[in-house]
């Protein structure tokens, strides 16, 4: 039995001690003396969030399939344990071995959302690894970051030795082989990082010099050595069916955010929504063969005992073999009491027919994401949903027995007017009215429940809206108030409920999403003054962020509120994400002209992703 890093006394004092003891079903235990590389895979948030993340499960499985590597998991300790670890000088540890992360070869940190950035510093600090990459020595692990936030790694570049740009299944093996060889040859940390920078997808921030213009914008990003690439190309899995996937995912001891088997059916999206970073950086759309999915579902249910299967995709309705897959899941699992979860479906007759077979209609609600209330603004963002399609979907749902509908929108989108804001509750009112017109009184299962939720738009790198301005929190709240007041004025207002996102968090997300290396000083200041777990509202301290920005000379208006000139060099322009800047600028102009771009199956728009020679770009071209 592995000796626990925390004493029984400490475990009794903290909330949910099962977060820290390891030994879950399907976790991998190896003999550390029989491996060459020890890799700590960290998620900078609490166990329940990190254990729900598919990417870590995939890499954990992939690394541990290597005989020479032992990959362990690490999550951010909750504030109660954080305090004890600091007071008693207990180093952060891997769950499997319960041994200090500082003794590992690599610390990999996945970067899924901007508000986890301060928790990166928590992980490094508790691991007793210098937070600034320049302060690390031969004794410290190589700190490597991956995930969607690496598509602009600059705000956190000073904390990392390497960033992996792209999908992790591709070039980790060459990196680990290089490390093993150079370690055996007695090469230094600096020598390894220099050679690692030549591996496709690997970005080593310390090997680049940054120059700024007088107005604070980026002037140039220049490699320090001739053999270091000027452009870092994203790595992408083209054959989804043969790529690694965990048939024995780790099963948590306690209830986590997504306590289920996750079946990834495809990557990428054909839709081209102009606000959506994932839809751009994961191009081209690539499907996993249905026979492989059937095999995975069978193995994963058998190996985990989970009672739910969820399909993972940006737009599940676009998966070409969805009907056959659902029939298989219903036949083999649903009748045995395993729930089937179908997120990211369009609300059309086909999808509603599928959902009626796998959901308890009386308990479940349908989810639409129109994103904008008016047709004009939906055309601006290229949502590809018309009012007629939305109302027809709602009509079919009400006939099918549903009476609860969730609607997701964004406020603060480019070109948004007051009419667009008011159109959100007006659309909700139309849907509620449709329910009462469609379903006879004697057949109604209670009153119609329409829940509107609005988030505030954040311009992201590698989207057509990366040039767009944001607003101060007060302006976002003014817009939310217009929506709220308009809800109250609707005929069916008693059937409509309205929720909105935190405006101050949104502004900070925008600063971090499009920021540069100057931000690292502010992030360090926040952590050193007690800030972390900012993704959690109970720990978020907006005043501390404002104080840090002021002390470190960070101008929020510069980073978030100005519309960016079309010729500005962005901090992320050194990354080749497969979609060209020319295409995104063309789409920005098309958005401002309120014109829709057809989806990838209807017509190729020349985004640049054809260079990968596969996926939707080459369907039916064999």
The token pair that represents 11 in the structure block: 């475990």
Mean pLDDT of the chain: 96
pLDDT, one tens digit per residue, over 513-544 is 999 999 999 999 999 999 999 999 999 999 99
User: Left, alpha or beta for 340 (phi > 0: left; psi -120 to 50: alpha)?
Assistant: beta
Looking at the domain assignment, is residue 82 inside a domain?
Answer: yes
Q: How confident is the model at residue 421 (pLDDT cuts 50, 70, 90)?
A: very high
Of 139, 156, 166, 181, residue with least CA distance to 59: 166
**Contact criterion met (CB below 8 Å) for 303 and 26:** yes
Of 229, 105, 110, 72, residue with least CA distance to 179: 105
Region 351-365 average pLDDT:
79
**Contact criterion met (CB below 8 Å) for 272 and 279:** yes
Among residues 468, 501, 534, the one where a domain terminates is 501
Q: What is the pLDDT of residue 621?
A: 58
pLDDT, one tens digit per residue, over 201-253 is 999 999 999 999 999 999 999 999 999 999 999 999 999 999 999 999 999 99
Question: Which of these ranges, 340-349, 478-487, 596-605, has the smallest mean pLDDT?
Answer: 340-349
Q: What is the pLDDT of residue 445?
A: 80
Contacts of 486 (CB under 8 A, 6+ apart): 421, 422, 424, 425, 426
Query: Looking at residue 370, which CATH number applies to its domain?
Result: 3.30.750.200
Looking at the domain assignment, is residue 113 inside a domain?
Answer: yes
Of 298, 445, 442, 455, residue with least CA distance to 369: 455
Residue 267's H or E segment, with its range, is: strand 266-267
Of 106, 110, 94, 119, residue with least CA distance to 164: 110
Looking at the domain assignment, is residue 553 inside a domain?
Answer: no
**Are 368 and 227 found together in one domain?**
no
Q: How confident is the model at residue 460 (pLDDT cuts 50, 70, 90)?
A: very high
pLDDT, one tens digit per residue, over 529-583 is 999 999 999 999 999 999 999 999 999 999 999 999 999 999 999 999 999 999 9
Residue 330: pLDDT over 80:
yes
Q: What is the pLDDT of residue 622?
A: 47
When comparing pLDDT for 603 and 368, which is higher?
603
Alpha helices in 72-171 (DSSP H): 79-88, 117-126
Looking at the domain assignment, is residue 461 inside a domain?
Answer: yes
Residue 294's H or E segment, with its range, is: helix 290-304
The token pair that represents 303 in the structure block: 């190996």
Among residues 233, 250, 284, the one where a domain terminates is 233
Q: DSSP of 172-204, one letter per residue? A: HHHHHHHHHHHHHTT--HHHHHHHHTTSTTEE-
* CB environment 330-365: b (16+ within 10 A), e (fewer): eeebeeeebebbbebbbbeeebbebbeebbebeeee
Looking at the domain assignment, is residue 377 inside a domain?
Answer: yes
The token pair that represents 558 in the structure block: 């510069």
Among residues 188, 203, 233, the one where a domain terminates is 233
Other CB atoms within a 10 A radius of the CB of residue 327 amount to 12
**Contact criterion met (CB below 8 Å) for 381 and 413:** yes
Looking at the domain assignment, is residue 592 inside a domain?
Answer: no
User: 496: domain range?
Assistant: 360-501
Residue 363: pLDDT over 80:
no
Looking at the domain assignment, is residue 108 inside a domain?
Answer: yes
**Are 369 and 229 found together in one domain?**
no
Q: Looking at 441-513, which runs of residues are DSSP E strands?
A: 449-456, 496-500
Q: How confident is the model at residue 1 (pLDDT cuts 50, 70, 90)?
A: low
**Contact criterion met (CB below 8 Å) for 202 and 172:** no
Q: How far is CA 337 from CA 307, 308, 309, 340, 355, in A?
A: 7, 9, 11, 9, 16
Q: List residues bridging with 220 in a β-sheet.
A: 211
Q: How far is CA 460 from CA 355, 372, 584, in A?
A: 33, 18, 12
Region 610-615 average pLDDT:
96
Looking at the domain assignment, is residue 265 inside a domain?
Answer: no
Q: List residues bridging with 145 in a β-sheet.
A: 109, 163
Region 504-508 average pLDDT:
97
| pTM (predicted TM-score) | 0.96
Q: How many residues does the chain have?
A: 622
Question: Which of these ranges, 17-26, 102-111, 363-372, 594-603, has the smallest mean pLDDT?
Answer: 363-372
Of 313, 258, 306, 327, residue with least CA distance to 285: 313
Q: Does the CA dihedral 377-379-385-389 come out positive or negative?
A: positive
In total, how many domains does the chain have? Answer: 2
């Amino acid at each position: 039995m592995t000796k626990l890093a925390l004493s029984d006394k400490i475990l009794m004092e903290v909330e949910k001690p099962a977060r820290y003891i390891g030994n879950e079903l399907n976790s991998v235990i190896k003999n550390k003396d029989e491996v060459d590389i020890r890799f700590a895979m960290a998620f900078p948030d609490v166990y329940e969030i990190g254990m729900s993340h598919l990417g870590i499960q995939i890499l954990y499985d992939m690394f541990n399939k290597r005989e020479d590597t032992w990959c362990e998991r690490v999550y951010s300790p909750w504030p109660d344990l954080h305090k004890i670890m600091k007071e008693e000088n207990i180093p952060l540890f891997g769950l499997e071995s319960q041994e200090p992360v500082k003794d590992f070869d690599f610390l990999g940190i996945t970067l899924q959302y901007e508000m986890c950035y301060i928790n990166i510093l928590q992980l490094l600090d508790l691991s007793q690894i210098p937070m600034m990459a320049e302060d690390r020595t031969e004794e410290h692990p190589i700190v490597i970051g991956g995930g969607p936030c690496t598509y602009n790694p600059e705000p956190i570049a000073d904390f990392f030795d390497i960033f992996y740009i792209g999908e992790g299944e591709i070039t980790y093996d060459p990196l680990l082989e290089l490390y093993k060889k150079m370690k055996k040859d007695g090469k230094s940390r600096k020598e390894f990082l220099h050679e690692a920078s030549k591996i496709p997808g690997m970005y080593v921030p310390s090997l680049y010099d940054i120059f700024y213009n007088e107005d604070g914008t980026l002037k140039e990003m220049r490699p320090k050595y001739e053999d270091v690439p000027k452009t870092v190309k994203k790595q992408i899995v083209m054959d989804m069916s043969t790529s690694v996937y965990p048939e024995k995912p780790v099963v948590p001891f306690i209830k986590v955010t997504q306590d289920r088997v996750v079946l990834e059916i495809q990557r990428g999206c054909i839709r081209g929504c102009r606000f959506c970073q994932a839809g751009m950086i994961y191009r081209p759309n690539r499907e996993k063969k249905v026979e492989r999915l059937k095999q995975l579902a069978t193995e994963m249910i058998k190996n985990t005992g989970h009672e739910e299967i969820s399909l993972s995709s940006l737009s599940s309705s676009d998966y070409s073999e969805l009907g056959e897959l659902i029939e298989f899941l219903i036949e083999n699992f649903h009748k045995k009491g395993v729930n089937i979860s179908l997120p990211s479906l369009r609300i059309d007759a086909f999808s509603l027919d599928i959902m009626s077979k796998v959901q308890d209609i009386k308990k479940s609600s349908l989810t639409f994401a129109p994103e904008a209330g008016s047709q004009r603004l939906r055309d601006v963002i290229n949502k590809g949903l018309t009012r007629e399609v939305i109302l027809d979907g709602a009509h079919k749902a009400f006939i099918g027995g549903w009476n609860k509908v969730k609607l997701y929108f964004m406020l603060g989108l480019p070109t948004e007017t007051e009419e667009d804001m008011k159109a959100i509750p007006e659309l909700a009112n139309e849907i509620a009215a449709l329910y009462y017109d469609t379903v006879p009184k004697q057949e109604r299962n209670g009153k119609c429940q329409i829940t509107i939720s609005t988030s505030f738009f954040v311009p992201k790198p590698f989207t057509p809206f990366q040039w767009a301005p944001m607003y101060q929190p007060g302006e976002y709240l003014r817009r939310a108030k217009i929506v709220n007041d308009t809800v109250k004025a609707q005929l069916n207002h008693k059937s409509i409920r309205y929720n909105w996102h935190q405006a101050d968090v949104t502004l900070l997300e925008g600063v971090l999403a499009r920021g540069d290396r100057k931000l690292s000083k502010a992030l360090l200041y926040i952590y050193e003054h007690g800030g972390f777990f900012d993704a959690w509202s109970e720990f978020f301290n907006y005043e501390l962020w404002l104080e840090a920005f002021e002390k470190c000379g960070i101008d929020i208006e510069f980073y978030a509120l100005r519309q960016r000139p079309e010729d500005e060099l962005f901090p992320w322009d050194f990354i080749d994400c497969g979609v060209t800047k020319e295409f995104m600028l063309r789409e920005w102009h098309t958005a401002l002209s309120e014109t829709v771009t057809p989806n990838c199956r209807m017509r190729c728009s020349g985004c640049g992703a054809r260079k990968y020679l596969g996926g939707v770009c080459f369907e039916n071209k064999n």
